[in-house]
């Protein structure tokens, strides 16, 4: 009778909630997977350029497409594992937000409960950012060496332990420059569009201005992501060059930029002084032709 209908409605609601969670998790995992594929493919392109830029036989007309094909052929499982971990953490954070909102009445009269929710939310946010940071560098090692996910994370921990100062400086500078791009480009584009439309008689330029602001932010965000990936990939390539190939492919400018060699600054100053005295141009030494074989190619 009535109890049976109540049980049916309850089970239907539970099943519906389960499907919502399933779809949300599928979206988070798919989004993270696609984003990680793009990151790894771009990292593979940068690594290939760094180690093989002097090898004419290794050049290609479509380096990004070639790297994407290599990633899709060899590293799909590794990328799926990394994006799965991030998707789980994001799902837990969203579940905590829902639970926090559902218990607002209880939290109003319980300071300890409210504080516990805030602390857990802060901890999960820090965990997500940490895992995202390690995973991004791990995918660079995957692209460069063909490692699986766990060894790539181990290489990332070694990188953090061996070069903490250089890694901190690189991360700080990259973050600041990315923020400047994300703030300056959309504001400039929106202001220019608003000024142009208002000048030529459009009485309501706000809608077009908002559209320009949104589009410019998306484009600036894509450019900032590419910039971050290139900087991080170059940093990892330089580290491997130092550890395994004795700076065979690294120029003095890269050493100076990433802070690996203090002597590079003095050497660079002497070269500039010699150019000023002799009027010549700086010549970069030809690299030793030895192939590091970052990962197998099919």
**Same-domain status, 259 and 209:** yes
**Same-domain status, 15 and 157:** yes
**Same-domain status, 97 and 208:** no
Would 84 be classed as within a structural domain?
A: yes
256 to 114, 137, 166: CA distances (angstroms)? 49, 21, 11
Long-range contacts (CB closer than 8 Å, 24 or more residues apart) made by 20-23: 21/91
**Same-domain status, 142 and 15:** yes
Would 187 be classed as within a structural domain?
A: yes
**Same-domain status, 147 and 197:** no
Would 50 be classed as within a structural domain?
A: yes
**Same-domain status, 90 and 167:** no
Per residue of the chain (298 residues), give pLDDT as tens. 555 545 555 677 788 888 999 999 999 999 999 999 999 999 999 999 988 888 778 788 888 999 999 999 999 999 999 999 999 999 999 999 999 988 888 888 888 988 999 999 999 999 999 999 999 999 999 999 888 898 999 988 988 888 888 888 888 988 999 999 999 999 999 999 988 888 887 777 888 889 999 999 999 999 999 999 999 999 999 888 888 877 777 777 777 766 666 554 555 556 556 555 554 444 443 443 444 445 544 3
Number of Cβ within a 10 Å radius of residue 247: 17
**Same-domain status, 113 and 193:** no
Q: Which domain holds residue 229?
A: 163-272
Would 293 be classed as within a structural domain?
A: no
**Same-domain status, 150 and 46:** yes
**Same-domain status, 202 and 154:** no
Distance CA 258, CA 237 (A): 11
Q: How many domains does the chain have?
A: 2
* Structural tokens at position 195: 């000024």
Radius of gyration of the CA atoms of the chain, in A: 25
Would 285 be classed as within a structural domain?
A: no
**Same-domain status, 35 and 131:** yes
Domain boundary among 162, 189, 212: 162
Contact call for residues 45 and 63 (beta carbons, < 8 A): yes
Would 144 be classed as within a structural domain?
A: yes
**Same-domain status, 182 and 109:** no
């Amino acid at each position: 009778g009535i109890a049976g209908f109540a049980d049916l409605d309850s089970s239907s609601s539970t099943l519906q909630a389960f499907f919502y969670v399933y779809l949300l998790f599928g979206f988070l995992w798919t989004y993270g997977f696609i984003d990680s594929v793009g990151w790894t493919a771009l990292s593979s392109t940068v690594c290939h350029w760094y180690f093989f830029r002097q090898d004419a036989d290794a050049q290609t007309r479509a380096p990004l497409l070639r790297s994407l094909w290599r990633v899709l052929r060899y590293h799909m499982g590794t990328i799926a594992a990394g994006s799965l971990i991030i998707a789980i953490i994001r799902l837990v954070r969203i579940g905590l937000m829902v639970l926090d909102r559902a218990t607002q009445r209880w939290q109003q009269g319980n300071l300890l409960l409210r504080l516990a929710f805030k602390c857990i939310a802060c901890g999960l946010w820090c965990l997500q950012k940490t895992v995202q940071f390690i995973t991004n560098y791990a995918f660079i090692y995957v692209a460069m060496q063909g490692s699986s996910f766990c060894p790539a994370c181990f290489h990332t921990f070694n990188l953090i332990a061996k070069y903490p100062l250089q890694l901190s400086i690189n991360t700080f500078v990259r973050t600041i420059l990315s923020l400047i791009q994300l703030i300056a480009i959309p504001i400039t584009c929106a202001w220019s569009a608003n000024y142009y439309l208002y000048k030529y008689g459009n009485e309501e330029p706000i809608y077009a201005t908002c559209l320009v602001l949104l589009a410019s932010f998306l484009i600036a965000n894509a450019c900032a992501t590419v910039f971050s990936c290139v900087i991080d990939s170059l940093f990892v390539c330089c580290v491997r060059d130092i550890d395994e190939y004795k700076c065979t492919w690294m120029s003095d400018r890269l050493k100076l930029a990433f802070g690996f060699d203090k002597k590079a600054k003095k050497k660079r100053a002497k070269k500039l002084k010699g150019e000023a005295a002799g009027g010549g141009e700086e010549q970069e030494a030809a690299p030793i032709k030895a192939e590091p074989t970052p990962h197998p190619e099919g």
